[in-house]
């Protein structure tokens, strides 16, 4: 390849590497940015090899200089220090907004919603919500996904709506606020460095989601539940000025390595009037609900606990 072409291509490729490197540092993780940066790096390596071939004689002369060894030592030491990540390097890396690939991924598609969750190499969860007749991808419904233990206590929110939409999903909001209140009470009762779980009067298990999702003893796991609450704003009919959200549930048993389970309707949330206390209960969904039924056709939960 001619020298001018190699030089120009190398300069332009380096520009792509520099820009994607900066973007990868200052922005959250993106597989597109990382992919572009990595693959462009391979192209840059090929161009560097072509550049070296075109300039082999001057390079041989540079390698005979003592400066070459100094440069090699400097690059080696710098690489080792960054690799070991002492405190100054860690402090610098903390400035980055790139925290690595997310454990979960939430996708709104034309034919529905897909949620992926993979907290460990041997655990993969996929929730596939198939669009119903009233689903509009340009104006998707608000959705919350969370886990509860057998005592119906919130233990982990997997996907939360935007803060301004939280009131559209009152059952999830009520459950999560109760969990946050219990956590705050536990933190106030113990020194900060001793708070390791939320304690409370429940006969049905732990508040630590790891005890359910990734149990220490796989042969004796605790069952738990996954719930979704879904709502389409402005969904009026003859009975409601805005139809309430609907809650779907599925029971999960970790004893089976691979499961395929369909979520079932649990009800719609309604505030239970109690003096001085907010409480929400689920009520039977009757024929007063119309288009709210048609937001989703079905919701399938797939869990694969096999080692990769």
Distance CA 46, CA 15 (A): 15
Question: How many C-beta atoms surround the C-beta of residue 66 within 10 A?
Answer: 7
* Same domain (yes/no): 59, 202: no
Contact 278, 271 (CB under 8 A): yes
Q: Assess if residue 130 is contained within a domain.
A: yes
* Same domain (yes/no): 245, 122: yes
The phi and psi torsions of 229 (rounded to 5 degrees) equal -125, 130
* Same domain (yes/no): 154, 185: yes
**What integer pLDDT is reported at residue 6 of this predicted model?**
80
Expressed in angstroms, the distance from the first to the final Cα of the chain is 44
Distance CA 204, CA 227 (A): 17
Q: Assess if residue 109 is contained within a domain.
A: yes
- Domain termination residue (choose one: 64, 93, 122): 93
Distance CA 56, CA 90 (A): 39
* Same domain (yes/no): 83, 198: no
pTM (two decimals): 0.66
Structure-block tokens of residue 51: 């550049």
Question: pLDDT, tens digit, for every residue of 189-218?
Answer: 766 555 444 444 334 456 778 888 887 777
Question: pLDDT, tens digit, for every residue of 135-184?
Answer: 998 899 999 999 999 888 999 999 999 999 999 999 999 999 988 888 78
Q: Assess if residue 27 is contained within a domain.
A: yes
- Domain termination residue (choose one: 26, 59, 93): 93
Residue 293: name the closest of 133, 127, 138 by CA: 133
How does strand 142-148 pair with strand 104-109?
unpaired
Q: How many CA atoms are closer than 13 Å to the CA of 121, on its beta-carbon side? A: 2
Mean pLDDT (the chain, rounded): 85
**What integer pLDDT is reported at residue 282 of this predicted model?**
95
Beta bridge partners of 115: 106, 127
* Same domain (yes/no): 86, 215: no
Q: Assess if residue 99 is contained within a domain.
A: no
Q: Assess if residue 98 is contained within a domain.
A: no
Instruction: Write out the residue range of the structural domain in which residue 66 sits.
Output: 3-93
Domain count, the chain: 2
**What integer pLDDT is reported at residue 197 of this predicted model?**
46
- Domain termination residue (choose one: 93, 124, 156): 93
* Same domain (yes/no): 149, 211: yes
* Same domain (yes/no): 171, 245: yes
């Amino acid at each position: 390849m001619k020298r001018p072409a190699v030089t120009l291509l190398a300069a332009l490729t380096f520009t792509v590497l520099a820009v994607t490197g900066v973007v990868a540092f200052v922005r959250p993780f993106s597989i597109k940015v990382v992919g572009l940066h990595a693959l462009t790096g391979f192209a840059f390596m090929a161009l560097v090899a072509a550049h070296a071939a075109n300039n082999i004689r001057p390079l041989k002369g540079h390698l005979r200089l003592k400066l070459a060894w100094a440069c090699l030592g400097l690059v080696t030491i710098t690489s080792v220090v960054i690799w070991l990540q002492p405190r100054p390097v860690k402090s610098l890396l903390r400035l980055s907004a790139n925290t690595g690939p997310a454990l979960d991924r939430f996708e709104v598609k034309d034919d529905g919603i897909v949620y992926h969750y993979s907290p460990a190499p041997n655990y993969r969860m996929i929730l596939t919500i198939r669009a119903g007749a009233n689903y509009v991808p340009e104006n998707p419904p608000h959705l919350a996904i969370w886990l509860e233990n057998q005592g119906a206590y919130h233990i982990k929110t997997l996907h939360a709506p935007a803060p301004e939409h939280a009131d559209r999903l009152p059952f999830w909001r009520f459950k999560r606020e109760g969990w946050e209140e219990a956590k705050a009470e536990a933190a106030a009762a113990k020194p900060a460095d001793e708070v390791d779980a939320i304690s409370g009067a429940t006969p049905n298990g732990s508040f630590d989601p790891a005890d359910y999702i990734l149990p220490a003893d796989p042969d004796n796991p605790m069952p738990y539940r996954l719930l979704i609450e879904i709502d389409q704003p402005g969904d009026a009919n003859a009975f409601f000025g805005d139809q309430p959200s609907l809650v779907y549930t599925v029971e999960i048993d970790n004893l089976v390595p691979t499961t395929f389970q369909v979520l079932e309707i649990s009800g719609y949330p309604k505030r239970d009037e109690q003096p001085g206390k907010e409480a929400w209960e689920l009520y039977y969904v009757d024929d007063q609900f119309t288009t709210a039924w048609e937001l989703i056709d079905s919701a399938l939960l797939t869990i694969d606990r096999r080692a990769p």
